[in-house]
Structure 1
Amino acid sequence: MKGVLLVNLGSPASPTPKDVKPYLDEFLMDKYVIDVPFLLRALLVRGIILRKRPKESAHAYQQIWWDEGSPLIVLSERMHKKVAKKTEMPVALAMRYGKPSIEQGLQELADKGVTDVLLFPLYPQYAMASTLTILVQAEEIRKKKFPQMKFTDVPAFYNKPDYIKALANSIKSSIANFDYDHLLFSYHGIPERHIRKTDVTKSHCKINDTCCSTPSAAHKFCYRHQCYETTRLVVEELGIPEDKYSLTFQSRLSGDKWLEPYTDIEVNKMPNKGIKKLAVVTPAFVSDCLETLEEIAMRARDDFKEHGGEEFLAVPCLNDNDEWVDVVAGWISEWEKAEIPVA
């Protein structure tokens, strides 16, 4: 019997330091997030970061928390319910960090007799710290707890026409009544070394002005290329002039060289360049979360206005957008009927 497991990032159980700390520990101790030897990672995370970060992060979560709970969890659940209504197969929802866990999601499917699982990471672009960590953990759990199961992984869908169409239409709807000067595509940042580690050619990724636009087998797993390609396709779909959009990366940690240009720095420069009305879209996420609601819709907005900006629009993620739900349900249906990888 076939079934589907949708997997998103996750969230602390509440916006309190008590619940944020174990969530951050699980997240930051993931070897695919902070990819250094265990002892060094433990020293960095548990000896330094977790001394102050839980309180700071809890405050940030408090700014965005809904009555129903974490926005990411609530929005993922809404999307999950809509998708489940469009298929006869069992569809479960899980989070890479926090609850419901991947093991809980697989158990839910197993209890319904599912042995053939479509594993669906809800990340458009491939990265070690998102897609890969989901696939690795799911496989570890499968071997230990559900050896009878078989997985089909949904690959990165950053350039799939129906995804691009849904994303472009969502952006178009959001900016329809906003006379913006500039549209910024802000993607979650990752360390540059992650790009080099996922380069299957071991030589192509130079992280310069040409490698992402030069055809290569490396692009299948290159987060940077996929971000630029998503942007290019959406801009083409919307017909946005070259001088009215740009791409940046957000949410970096100190101490490493991360993908540039940095969102916060570029946003602060824009008013002096004559950009007074700014719209920001965050296509690395399909569900609004801390990085979109607090970092962009609040902090980036305030910084933009403090530096002379006048109007700021944070474009919502796809969330439970009906067209996006139809896209996901369509990919699930294709897999159900054809027994081939979707997307």
Structure 2
Amino acid sequence: MTLASDHPPVATRKVGVLLVNLGTPDAPTPGAVKRYLAEFLSDRRVVEIPPIAWQPILRGIILNTRPKKSAHAYSLVWREDGSPLAAITRLQAEALSFGAEVIVDWAMRYGNPAIGDRLAALKSAGCERILIAPLYPQYCAATTATANDAAFAALAKMRWQPAVRTLPPYHDDPAYIGALKASVEASLAALDFEPEAIVASFHGMPQRTLELGDPYHCHCRKTARLLSEALGRELTVTFQSRFGRAKWLEPATDVTLAKLAADGVKKVAIFAPGFSADCLETLEELAIRGRETFLAAGGIDFAYLPCLNSDGAGMEMLRNIIGRELAGWIEGP
């Protein structure tokens, strides 16, 4: 006769949540940046040029010229606990709690920690159901889709897969718009000047992506419209981070900042509603170079308003939208 106590205990079934953001080099050095850019710019979702034409340009020119410049930019914003994007995403994961049955982890699409590695860790920890949560409010194939691609590629190598869900875009979710409103209003109240214009800068994408049917541009515009209505004031919508010679979504953030100053707007506040966490594109491109552009064109007062990051309204929003997607997998409140 075999007693139940003779068998090893069965691992408690868990639910996993994997927060995913874009990525970052491991250090603010040319070598680390080169490795990161090689992975990032080789993604067919990011650069939709046939590899036979693109790879010689990437390997022969870009990876031999851009890493040093980008490493300097990263060094200006690097924190004691690492890259701002990685550090804040880690803090977001640590601050999220849905009960003892849920394990929250985080990963980067490019660089470390890798999506495949963290999915394997969640599976090993007993997670039979996993929510993959790309932290991009506005859907884009070059962000949301490629994060899911990497997760599915990792799952394809597993003999025993967990059940999976993916977090949908939340560009018009009332919880997201409400969190942005609370964050922007709190940041504006802390300023020692009253902005004459408020710029909402979204990450740019090639114009071709819109023409091919990507909803990103429409999602950005809807976010801005809903937030403008919630704030009760007009927002100037722009797109940043142009790269290469192709036509990108307009108006461009740097061009707009210079034009505002030249047109007599002397006091500006800018924020980046499409970024879930502050990173190189917000802290260096907007807060540092954006300021330089605006002041050089004749502006006087400039303020960068932080992203939702890992506290306050932003975390309450993440608990709300992620908790909703876990319905049926965990007990409700």
Query: Could you state the TM-score of these two structures normalised by the residue count of structure 2?
Result: 0.91
**Deviation (angstroms), 1:177:** 3.5
Separation in structure 1 between the aligned mates of residue 215 and residue 159 of structure 2, nearest angstrom: 31
TM-aligned CA distance change 1:251 to 1:128, over 3 Å: same
Specify the code of the residue in structure 2 equivalent to 1:50. L
Matches within 5 A, 1:1-343: 1-84=14-97, 88-145=101-158, 147-178=160-191, 179-197=194-212, 199=213, 221-240=214-233, 242=234, 245-338=235-328
Separation in structure 1 between the aligned mates of residue 111 and residue 172 of structure 2, nearest angstrom: 29
Separation in structure 2 between the aligned mates of residue 148 and residue 259 of structure 1, nearest angstrom: 39
Unaligned runs of 5+ in 1: 200-220
Unaligned runs of 5+ in 2: 1-13
Specify the code of the residue in structure 2 equivalent to 1:93. W
**Deviation (angstroms), 1:84:** 3.5
Q: Percent identity?
A: 41
**Deviation (angstroms), 1:86:** 6.1
Specify the code of the residue in structure 2 equivalent to 1:257. K
Measured against aligned partners, the alpha-carbon deviations of 1:90-109 in whole angstroms (never above 9, x if no partner) come to: 11100000000001210121
Measured against aligned partners, the alpha-carbon deviations of 1:259-299 in whole angstroms (never above 9, x if no partner) come to: 01111111111112221110001011010000000000000
After the TM superposition, which parts of structure 1 deviate over 4 Å for at least 4 consecutive aligned residues? Answer: none
Alignment-derived partner of residue 217 in structure 1: none
Alignment-derived partner of residue 8 in structure 2: none
Which of these two proteins has the greater Rg computed from alpha carbons?
2
Separation in structure 2 between the aligned mates of residue 325 and residue 8 of structure 1, nearest angstrom: 15
Measured against aligned partners, the alpha-carbon deviations of 1:178-234 in whole angstroms (never above 9, x if no partner) come to: 31010001110001111223x2xxxxxxxxxxxxxxxxxxxxx51001101000111
**Deviation (angstroms), 1:85:** 6.6
Specify the code of the residue in structure 2 equivalent to 1:142. L
Separation in structure 2 between the aligned mates of residue 130 and residue 143 of structure 1, nearest angstrom: 20
Separation in structure 1 between the aligned mates of residue 215 and residue 31 of structure 2, nearest angstrom: 36
**Deviation (angstroms), 1:313:** 0.6
Of residues 78-87 and 228-237 in structure 1, the stretch that sits farther from structure 2 once superposed is 78-87
**Deviation (angstroms), 1:167:** 1.0
Provide the secondary structure at the position in 1 that maps to 2:269.
Answer: strand
Note if contact 1:119-1:151 (Cα within 8 Å) is conserved in structure 2.
yes
Measured against aligned partners, the alpha-carbon deviations of 1:218-254 in whole angstroms (never above 9, x if no partner) come to: xxx51001101000111111111x4xx2111000112
Note if contact 2:17-2:104 (Cα within 8 Å) is conserved in structure 1.
yes
Specify the code of the residue in structure 1 equivalent to 2:108. M
Separation in structure 2 between the aligned mates of residue 9 and residue 314 of structure 1, nearest angstrom: 21
Separation in structure 1 between the aligned mates of residue 262 and residue 50 of structure 2, nearest angstrom: 43
Count of matched residue positions in the alignment of Structure 1 and Structure 2: 315
| RMSD between superposed Cα atoms in Å | 1.5
Separation in structure 2 between the aligned mates of residue 259 and residue 331 of structure 1, nearest angstrom: 28
TM-aligned CA distance change 1:86 to 1:45, over 3 Å: farther
Measured against aligned partners, the alpha-carbon deviations of 1:14-44 in whole angstroms (never above 9, x if no partner) come to: 0000111000000001101111111222112
Provide the secondary structure at the position in 1 that maps to 2:21.
Answer: strand
Note if contact 2:175-2:320 (Cα within 8 Å) is conserved in structure 1.
no
Separation in structure 2 between the aligned mates of residue 65 and residue 86 of structure 1, nearest angstrom: 33
Note if contact 1:9-1:95 (Cα within 8 Å) is conserved in structure 2.
yes
Provide the secondary structure at the position in 1 that maps to 2:292.
Answer: helix
